[in-house]
């Protein structure tokens, strides 16, 4: 049995929180983004990336638009060290990109870090020590003052070495396990570090308040951020950063509320990779801004390529339901959803401003290089006539009458149900062709039709039935009506031509025409047929013939 009584909150809420951030709807601009894929993300992989793989991943991050990239913990392993030296010595860091390195507040690690980062054109040295109550009491067995002294000694050494080594250095400090630290103590440590580092508006310092472990609802973290943001020393020279993990599954919410509460920077990983349940997902955060009309300053327009590269280099899998990037996130199998999407697409085309308001799709799939026919309207036994008809129309140009579309929908669903499988667009087209299009058996085939214009229009129809060829004659008030009368008399059958529509399948002068016919038979049944031919009159005749043949193929009698 599960026993909830052994758990109690490990966080420290802000007393008398002001909640000013609650009045904001969303961030008005993108934060400073820092990818930690090559450090947090890489250390969380079962098989960490090789030097060559890390270089390729770095180049992908640059293409996406990250201007700050944490490239590793150079004192942790030789591969981390070599990667950093390769970036610097081979001049692989773009002028507008700042690399970042991580170090604990321990002297030998700080010294090795500066040895690794020397000569960097622009680098953030990110130093940290844990400040949480649990770590103080259980791991370090030190008092608050002793923990604070670790941070101060680290800050002093970082500042000293930055003046001794060649390079352009900026600084970041994190009270690790911030979410398990008393807010006033975390603030005290950060302010003491700021006083040592003496940042300026021209050379600001980053104070990072990480969600090392999620312990609370997101609003509690937002209050902690707002509390510290209001009270940090030299605030105009501070860039307030956040680094959320996802232990409670609310890393994105933590970050979004933190941005409302005063955070200006986000450390994140693509697709939420990272230790345990992962770091906050850069893709979801950026695209959440995008769909609110805020430019995220990151480019995920070629999402399939980014997913492929990520999966190949990390050996991780992007889940099919991963927001914005998963293989099925735009897929609509439900008939009612498909119908709403199809109608929304038509409304979008008629909107002169091109605004995106399509039901069930918060983002235009084209914006991330996905397609409507392959990714949005997906057909299985749960699908409806709207989606199935939409695929047939948008992919192949066939615009069926409403009642025929309904009949076709049931036909396709039956095929999918029996196969226990999704049907691809080409399979849907095949069902349409086999069910309706240009069917010349089992009873009737019209070879040709001529028309004689006199006091009334007369049709001369050459037809095959029962293995023999005949010529039938009949008058009518139009060409198709005359052919229809000739066929009914020739076969000795009776039905009503209820529906007839036609369309061009292209814009050129030699485009084929498509026609659709619906027949009502004396027994109350209805059959449908479609015809396609360069001649629009003959396409209508073929549709009529197809509908007649469908009646007899289904066992109908006159």
pLDDT digits (tens, 9 = 90+) for 249-266: 999 999 999 999 999 999
Q: Please state, in angstroms and as integers, the Cα–Cα distance from residue 457 to each residue in 278, 441, 447, 460, 477, following that order.
A: 77, 28, 19, 10, 7
Q: What angle do CA 177, 71, 33 make, to 5 degrees?
A: 70
Confidence of residue 351 (pLDDT cuts 50, 70, 90): confident
Q: What is the pLDDT of residue 384?
A: 61
Q: Residue 75: in which H helix or E strand, if any?
A: none
Is omega for the bond preceding 354 within 30 degrees of 0, making it cis? no
Q: What is the pLDDT of residue 340?
A: 86
Q: Retrieve residue 415's tokens.
A: 């095929």
Mean pLDDT over all residues of the chain? 93
Distance, in Å, from the CA atom of 105 to the CA atom of 275, rounded to the nearest integer, reads 21
136-145, 345-354, 358-367: range with lowest mean pLDDT: 345-354
d(CA 493, CA 472): 14
> Which of 525, 524, 532 has its CA nearest to residue 554?
525
Instruction: Summarize pLDDT for 287-344 with one digit per residue, the tens.
Output: 999 999 999 999 999 999 999 999 999 999 999 999 999 999 988 777 788 788 888 8
Least confident window among 23-32, 103-112, 123-132, 330-339: 330-339
Domains and CATH numbers, the chain: 20-314 (3.20.20.70), 335-436 (no CATH), 445-553 (3.30.160.270)
User: Which two structure tokens, joined as six digits, stand for 54?
Assistant: 């890390």
Query: What is residue 295's predicted lDDT score, i.e. its pLDDT?
Result: 98
Q: Which two tokens stand for residue 260?
A: 């409302």
pLDDT for residue 252 = 98
DSSP 136: I
130 vs 178: CA distance, rounded Å: 8
For residue range 411-443, list pLDDT tens digits in order: 988 888 888 888 888 999 999 999 999 999 999
In this predicted structure, what is the pLDDT of residue 509?
66
Give me the mean pLDDT over the 382-402 stretch.
Answer: 82
Provide the CA 175 distance to its chain's centre, in angstroms: 34
pLDDT at 389: 82
Average pLDDT over residues 200-211: 98
Output the furthest CA–CA distance in the chain (Å, rounded). 111
Backbone angles phi, psi at 275, to 5 degrees: -55, 145
């Amino acid at each position: 049995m599960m026993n909830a009584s052994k758990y109690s909150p490990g966080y420290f809420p802000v007393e008398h929180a002001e909640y000013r951030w609650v009045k904001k709807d969303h961030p008005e601009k993108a934060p400073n983004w820092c990818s930690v894929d090559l450090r947090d993300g890489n250390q969380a992989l079962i098989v960490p990336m090789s030097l060559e793989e890390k270089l390729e991943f770095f180049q992908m991050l640059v293409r996406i638009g990250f201007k700050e990239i944490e490239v590793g913990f150079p004192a942790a392993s030789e591969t981390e060290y070599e990667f950093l030296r390769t970036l610097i010595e081979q001049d692989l860091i773009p002028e507008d990109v700042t690399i970042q390195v991580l170090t604990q507040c321990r002297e030998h690690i700080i010294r090795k870090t500066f040895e690794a980062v020397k000569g960097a054109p622009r680098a953030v040295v990110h130093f940290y020590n844990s400040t949480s109550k649990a770590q103080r009491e259980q791991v370090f067995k030190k008092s608050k003052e002793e923990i604070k002294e670790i941070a101060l000694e680290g800050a002093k050494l970082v500042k000293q070495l930055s003046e001794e080594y060649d390079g352009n250095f900026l600084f970041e400090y994190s009270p690790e396990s911030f979410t398990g630290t008393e807010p006033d103590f975390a603030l005290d440590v950060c302010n003491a570090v700021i006083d040592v580092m003496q940042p300026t508006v021209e050379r600001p310092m980053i104070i990072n308040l990480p969600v090392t472990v999620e312990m609370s609802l997101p609003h509690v973290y937002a209050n902690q951020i707002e509390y510290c943001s209001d009270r940090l020393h030299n605030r105009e020279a501070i860039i307030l950063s956040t680094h959320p993990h996802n232990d409670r599954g609310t890393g994105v919410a933590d970050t979004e509320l933190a941005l409302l509460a005063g955070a200006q920077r986000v450390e994140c990983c693509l697709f939420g990779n990272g230790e345990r349940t992962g770091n906050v997902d850069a893709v979801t955060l950026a695209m959440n801004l995008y769909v609110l009309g805020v430019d995220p300053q990151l480019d995920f327009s070629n999402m399939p390529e980014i997913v492929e590269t990520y999966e190949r280099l990390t050996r991780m899998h992007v889940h099919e339901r991963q927001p914005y990037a998963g293989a099925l996130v735009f897929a609509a199998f439900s008939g009612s959803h498909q119908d709403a999407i199809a109608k929304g697409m038509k409304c979008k085309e008629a909107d002169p401003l091109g605004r995106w308001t399509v039901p069930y799709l918060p983002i235009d799939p084209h914006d991330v290089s996905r397609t409507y026919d392959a990714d949005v309207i997906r057909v299985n036994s749960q699908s409806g006539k709207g989606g199935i008809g939409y695929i047939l129309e948008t992919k192949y140009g066939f615009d069926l009458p409403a009642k025929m579309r309904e009949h076709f929908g049931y036909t396709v669903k039956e095929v999918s149900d029996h196969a226990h499988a999704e049907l691809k667009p080409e399979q849907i087209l095949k069902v349409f062709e086999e069910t309706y299009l240009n069917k010349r058996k089992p009873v009737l085939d019209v070879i040709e039709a001529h028309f004689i214009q006199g006091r009334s229009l007369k049709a001369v129809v050459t037809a095959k039935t029962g293995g023999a060829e005949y010529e039938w004659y009949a008058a009518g008030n139009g060409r198709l009506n005359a052919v229809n009368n000739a066929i009914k008399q020739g076969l000795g059958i009776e039905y009503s031509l209820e529906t007839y529509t036609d369309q061009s399948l292209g814009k050129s002068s030699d485009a084929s025409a498509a026609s659709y016919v619906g027949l009502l038979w004396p027994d109350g049944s209805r059959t449908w047929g479609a015809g396609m031919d360069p001649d629009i009159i003959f396409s209508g005749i073929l549709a009529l013939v197809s509908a007649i043949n469908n009646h007899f193929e289904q066992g109908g009698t006159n």
